[in-house]
Structure 1
Amino acid sequence: MSIDTPKPDVLTLSLFGAAVAHALFILGVSFDPLLDDIRTPPSLEVVLVPNNSDSMAPEEADYLAQHSQDGGGESDEASRPASPFASNQDFDTDGVAPQPVRASAPAPVEQRDRDAITAVFADEELASDDQQEQNEHIEAHRDKDLIEQDLEIAKLAAEIDRQREAFAKRPKKKHINARTTEAAYADYMYRWVEKVENIGNLNYPDAARRRNLTGALILIVGIHKTGEIESITVDESSGHKILDDAAKRIVELAAPFEVMTGKLAEETDILYIVRTWEFQSGNSITSY
C-alpha cells in the first residue's frame, strides 16, 4: 500500500514569488534623484548686518553674513531670515495664472457712514447732525446773498451802460452870446441877429406902437444844425407881455435859419443864442 503525498501547487507558488519580487522592486526603487534634478533649486538668502568691530563671533552660527554678529533683531527666538517678496513654497508655474482671468470692474463696495470715537480733547472735530444742518443752512443763505449781490451789480452795470449810451447819444449843445469871440460861432450869430432884426423892424407889433411901449428882454433861442428852431425861452422879461410875445413871434417869423456847416456843424447839434432884444421908442427893434 502506497501513501500519496500532496504535490505543491506550482502556479500558486509562482504567483506568490512574482508578487514578492514586484513588491521588493517597487519599494526598493526611489525617484528622489530624478525629482531633485527637476525641482527648482532653493533660493539663497543673504543676511546683511552692520559692521561692528566689537562684535564677537558666535560659537554656533545660524546663518552666513559679511560680518560676525551674535544676536540682533526684535525677536527673542531664532528664526529663518526671509524677504517679504520671497516664498518658501515651490510651485510648478512661472507666476502666470493657470487659467486666463477675465478683466472686470471691482465689485461695488457699499458706502458706510464714517465711524467716529468722541473724546474730550481731539485733534479733529466732527460736526454733529444738527451742526452740519445749521452749516448747510448758513451756506445756502451765503450763496443766496452772493447771487443777490451779483444781480445788483449786473443791474448797476446795465444802468451805467444805459447812462453812458444815453450820454453818447445826447446832442452836442453850445451856448453863445454877445461876448462870443470864436470866429465860426461869432460869424453865424452875426448873420442870425441881422436877419432877426430885419424881420422885427418889418413886423413891429401894432399893439406896442399904439401904446408906445418900450422895454428890453433876454431871449434864449435854440437852433438845430439844420437851421430849424429847437426852443424859444424868455430868460428875463421886459415887464410887458406884449413885448415878450412879440419878440418870440419875430424869431418864429425869421425861421428857418442858415444851415450850420464846417467846424460849427461838427461840434454842435443844437446852438443856443442868448441875446438882449430892445423895443425902442422909434418903433424899432435892436439886439445886443
Structure 2
Amino acid sequence: MSTATATDRLLFTLFLAGVAHGLVILGIGFTLDRPEGQSNLLEVTLALDHASQEQNPDADFLAQATQQGSGSLDEAEQLTTDQYADFQDNIIQEVEPDPTLSSAPDNPLTQRLIATYGDSSWALALEPDPEPQPIELQPQDLNLDTSMDIATLRALLDNRRQTYANRPRVRTLTAVSTRAAPEAEYVYAWQQRVERVGNANYPQAARAQRLTGQVRLLTSISPDGELLSVTLLQSSGHSVLDEAARQTVMQSAPFEPFNENMQAEYDVLEIIRTFRFEVEGAMTTSH
C-alpha cells in the first residue's frame, strides 16, 4: 500500500470542513419574534345584503349573517370599498352612541308673538293701555302772560255762549213744511191779507207795460205780528215788480200775533213765498 501524499491529505481535510459547515448551516433556522400581547388575526367580512336562511358550510369568510355569494369573479374575494375610514385598528371595538347626540338640548321656552290671518278659537287677553290722565296745571306753573291768555279765552267763550243763548228761535216755513205745519192757519191768513193789499195797490207802470214775472221773498215776523224784515230771494228781472212785491208786504203789516203754541216754540216766523204778477194786472202768491 502506498503512502498518502500531502495533497491527498489537504483535499480530505477540505472535504471534512465542507461537510461540517453544511451540517451547521442546515441545522440552524431563522424565525421572527412575535410582539407580546398580539393575538391571532380573524378576518371578518360585513354582509351588506339580506341574510340567508340557509346555512353555507362552504363559506369563504366570516360575517355577522349567513349569505350566499354572488358575483362574476373566479376566486373568492373580500368585499372592499374605495372610501377610507377615519381610524385604523386591527381590533373591532364596541361603539356606544354619544349621549350628547341622542337628544336635543333642552332650551328654555321663550314667549313669541305669532301673527296669523286665520280665525282661532283661542284669544290672548291683553291688558288695556292705561287711559291718559289730563294734565292739571297749578297756578304757580303758569306765568302772567299765559294766565291772561286763558282768561281772555274764557271770556270769549262765555260771550259766545251767552250770544248763542240769546239767539232767537226761528221757524222757517217753505212750500213743503207749510202744508202739515201747525202754523198753516196763520200762514193762510197772512196770504189772504197780502194778496188783498197787493191787488189794491197794483203798480200802474206794470199794468201799462203789461209786465209779468215772479218775485220770491222771505218775510220775517215777530211774535206780536210786527214785520222784522223783507228779503229778496229771487228777482223777476223787472225792478218795478220787485219793488211792488216788497211794498205789498210792508203795507200789509202788522200781522196777527202768534198764538200760545207758536210763542212757546219759536221767537221768529219766516215765511217764504213767490209773488206772481199776471198780464191782466192781478197778483197772487204761491209756494
Structure-1-length-normalised TM-score: 0.49
Structure exhibiting the larger radius of gyration computed from Cα positions: 2
Structure-2-length-normalised TM-score: 0.49
* Structure ranking higher in helix proportion: 1
